[in-house]
Structure 1
Amino acid sequence: MKTDDLILMLAQGDVAVPRHVVAKRLGMALGIGLMASFGLMLAVLGLRPDLESASMLPMFWVKLAFALSMGLIGLIAVKKIARPDGTIKHTLWATAFPIGLIWLLSLILVAHAPSSQRWHMLFGETWYECPLLITMLSAPIFIALLWAMRSLAPTQLGLAGAAVGLMSGGWGAVVYSLHCPEMGAPFIGTWYLLGILIPTVIGALLGKTLLRW
């Protein structure tokens, strides 16, 4: 085939492109990453022993919903930025909604709590390890998503890395919530958020290197 014929064929769109290739690759990467993250959590941390009774409490589902919403926003961002013309400016702003809700709930609860309990509501018993453990559990998801993204066509590599980190951190927090005994909204809005932001920042800093074509 002559070069001119090839260019004409590409311009006319006659080359078959697999449908839903982005969603399929990201779905596979997320599935592999989640299984590895869950296995790592079971091996290193274990499920919280009172998980069944804790799941009856509203704050357990608030915690899970916060982490899940950040992971889903990250998923939407990754899917968009995986394309050459993708933009995620408005998608990243969507994180303000779950963050704002958990902070509003935190302010209400702190305002109505005795002053002697406010410190514990913020720091709990595990504040010093929570962000690092979320980051650890996000690592398998982060690696799997990087593998998927390198097979796609992101052009804004820093933003793509940040989106991968956000998605990884959110889903890592979902896995960590099955171990974490903390239930306070101020704790979740501070230390869970920090645990999600760490891989986001790492992804933004390393995206230009790790996602380079």
Structure 2
Amino acid sequence: MQTHELIKALAADSRRTGVAMNTVWWGAVLVAIVVATTIFFALLGPRPDIAIAAQTVRFLFKFVVTIALAASAFALLRMLSRPETDPRGLLPYLVIAPALILTGVAIELIAAPAETWSSRLIGTNSLVCLTFIPLIGIGPLALLLLALRHGAPSHPALAGAIAGLAAGGIAATFYASHCTDDSPLFVATWYTIAITILALFGALGGRVAARW
């Protein structure tokens, strides 16, 4: 059988079992959220002044970015689990969260005095951020990679990396409620590094878990 014929056959089979795959994906993401919730409250919990912080735009903006990343990466991951998907057509999904955070950074640089930029970027929780976003996200990543095994991605490493972004978005959403550094400069730097760690783990895991 030629490669393109195999892909068509797998795609047809995927369509025939679409309900089952939907169940797998939504089950995986729901359990991933439960796992992230458990780890978050066991290790960190929300910041003490969360009620006051929730009244500020910068605090809420963190959730806009992290939820946008988790949602767009999850949608992209489901598409990449099908063998007929061309990754080049999915790039718009990947620019949603970066576009949001770059807009936030631009506004921050305009509004904040230049002498405060460095302190806002470094913040006070950078090491905590780099530790706990991957720690909260590793369980969700494992679940998404297991779900990916039920598909037939043509690019398993890429699909795994996207699973890492989705898991990172979930983890960062929880961590954002604990983090007292609300500057978009901090989020753009340290959250990005932490989520990239999960994306790298995902790429490695995807090559093993989703290979066919």
Could you tell me the TM-score, scaled by structure 1's length?
Answer: 0.85
Quote the residue 1:147 is aligned against: 146
What CA distance in whole angstroms lies between the structure 1 residues aligned with 2:120 and 2:67? 22
Is 1:73–1:92's contact at 8 Å kept on the other side of the alignment?
Answer: no
The Cα shift of 1:115 comes to 3.4
What CA distance in whole angstroms lies between the structure 2 residues aligned with 1:190 and 1:34? 24
Give the number of equivalent residue pairs. Answer: 201
Quote the residue 1:194 is aligned against: 193
Is 1:34–1:140's contact at 8 Å kept on the other side of the alignment?
Answer: no
Specify the code of the residue in structure 2 equivalent to 1:125.
Answer: T
What CA distance in whole angstroms lies between the structure 2 residues aligned with 1:159 and 1:185? 27
Residue 129 (structure 1) aligned with residue 128 (structure 2): yes
| Alignment deviations for residues 65-108 of structure 1 (CA, whole Å, 9 cap, x no partner) | 10011111111111101112123333344332331332232133
Residue 108 (structure 1) aligned with residue 107 (structure 2): yes
Residues 86-97 of structure 1 mapped to structure 2, 5 A cutoff:
86-97=85-96
What CA distance in whole angstroms lies between the structure 2 residues aligned with 1:60 and 1:199? 23
Partner secondary structure for residue 129 of structure 1: helix
State the superposition RMSD in angstroms: 2.1
| Alignment deviations for residues 40-74 of structure 1 (CA, whole Å, 9 cap, x no partner) | 01011122111222111111221001001111111
The Cα shift of 1:19 comes to 3.8
Quote the residue 1:177 is aligned against: 176
- Structure with the higher helix share, 1 or 2: 2
Partner secondary structure for residue 197 of structure 1: helix
Residue 99 (structure 1) aligned with residue 98 (structure 2): yes
Could you tell me the TM-score, scaled by structure 2's length?
Answer: 0.86
Relative distance call for 1:122 and 1:205 in structure 2 (3 A) is: same
What CA distance in whole angstroms lies between the structure 1 residues aligned with 2:169 and 2:85? 21
What CA distance in whole angstroms lies between the structure 2 residues aligned with 1:132 and 1:156? 29
The Cα shift of 1:18 comes to 3.6
Q: Which shifted more, 158-167 or 199-208?
A: 199-208
Q: Which shifted more, 100-109 or 190-199?
A: 100-109
